[in-house]
């Protein structure tokens, strides 16, 4: 049988059995089970991962004191029933625990995300929080392992993020993953504090936490965030920079000192750093070739492949300009000279 604890969440508010079984609580339970099934089809909560929590809306109760429903941990979200949800007070005390189910079901346990959900409620006065393991939210943090932020602009779906418009730059902080979910609590809280405009926090190699004023707001934003993460991944695959207004080509520079890793140098990264006050980086670096300032391998492994990939695009864009026509004329004359010299 389910466990019910009677606690007070605030002045004049008693969590009686009747209140826990009220229409508002029942409707929120049903809603959460429906959303979990939908999120499963989207790939956000597969393999028992991910979680969701919603506050039971009640105009007569201040939001910080409203009842909280939270999904259990380690269960198949698409098979959850309304009675499987935990009910908690505004301060996180468990008022209702679901009944155990027979083998092979595990004994019920409240979501491992509970401490992180509570931070979102406390620090952002949220009405609902979604934790997704969607592959987009994982891969987008791996494109640049050193990045502490995800930034994107000039994408229509940014308008679906609270407080943002098409021309705005959306910034989502990225925190490092840990072995256990609750160990993320402090770093999530720091990110929430450091980014007051953010409504999401990415966890590298893990997923994303997204909150909103209501379940509708959280769901809407979650869909928009996943769209934008997916767009960034696909733009990166096309060699395009998602973080700039024109989404132009990413400039790839191979690592120095024999490194085999490529570093994405975007136009944004080349601008003056307003925080450090450093001078702007040059837009290009010209090196001598063929063993003087760089090894010959730089020519064969970097310059030649770059030319093969880029020359067609450059000619298509500039073929009618006087400068390109002159370059082509010089190349043709050099080829003719070399053929004449080779044939004697």
Active site residues: 156
DSSP 58-76: -TTS-GGGS-EEEPBSSS-
Q: How many residues does the chain have?
A: 344
Angstrom CA distances, 237 to 203, 230, 234, 288, stand at 21, 11, 5, 30
**Cα gap 136→208, rounded to integer Å:** 10
Q: What are phi and psi of 49, to 5 degrees?
A: -80, 170
**Cα gap 83→75, rounded to integer Å:** 13
**Residue 256 token pair:** 């120095």
DSSP 249-305: B-EEEEPSTT---EEEE-GGGGS--TTT-PPPPPS------SSSSS-HHHIIIIIHH
**Cα gap 84→96, rounded to integer Å:** 10
174 and 108 Cβ atoms separated by less than 8 Å: no
**Cα gap 266→252, rounded to integer Å:** 8
Cβ neighbour number for residue 326 with a 10 Å cutoff? 10
**Cα gap 72→113, rounded to integer Å:** 9
């Amino acid at each position: 049988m389910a466990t019910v604890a009677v606690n007070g969440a605030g002045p004049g508010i008693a969590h009686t059995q009747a209140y826990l079984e009220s229409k508002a609580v029942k409707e929120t339970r049903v809603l959460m089970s429906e959303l979990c099934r939908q999120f499963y089809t989207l790939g956000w909560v597969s393999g028992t991962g991910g979680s969701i929590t919603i506050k039971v809306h009640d105009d007569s109760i201040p939001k910080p004191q409203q009842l909280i429903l939270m999904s259990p941990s380690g269960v198949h979200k698409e098979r959850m029933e309304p009675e499987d949800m935990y009910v908690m007070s505004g301060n996180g005390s468990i008022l209702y625990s679901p009944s155990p189910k027979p083998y092979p079901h595990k004994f019920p346990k409240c979501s491992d995300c509970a401490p992180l959900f509570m931070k979102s409620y406390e620090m952002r006065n949220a009405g609902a929080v979604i934790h997704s393991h969607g592959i987009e939210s994982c891969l987008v943090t791996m494109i640049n392992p050193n990045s502490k932020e995800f930034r994107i602009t000039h994408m229509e779906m940014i308008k679906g993020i609270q407080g943002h418009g098409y021309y705005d730059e959306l910034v989502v902080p990225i925190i490092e993953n840990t072995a256990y979910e609750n160990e993320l609590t402090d770093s999530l809280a720091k990110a929430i504090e450091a980014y007051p405009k953010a409504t999401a926090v990415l966890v590298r190699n893990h997923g994303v936490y997204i909150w909103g004023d209501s379940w509708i707001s959280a769901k809407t934003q979650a869909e928009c965030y996943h769209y934008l993460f997916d767009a960034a991944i696909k733009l990166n695959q096309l060699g395009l920079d998602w973080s700039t207004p024109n989404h132009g080509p990413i400039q790839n520079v191979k690592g120095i000192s024999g490194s085999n890793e490529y570093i994405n140098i975007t136009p944004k990264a080349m601008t003056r750093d307003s925080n450090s006050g450093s001078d702007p980086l040059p837009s290009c670096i010209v090196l001598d070739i063929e063993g003087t300032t760089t090894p010959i391998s730089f020519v064969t492994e970097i310059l030649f492949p770059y030319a093969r990939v880029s020359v067609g695009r450059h000619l298509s864009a500039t073929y009618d300009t006087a400068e390109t026509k002159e370059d082509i004329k010089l190349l043709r004359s050099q080829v003719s000279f070399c053929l004449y010299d080779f044939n004697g």
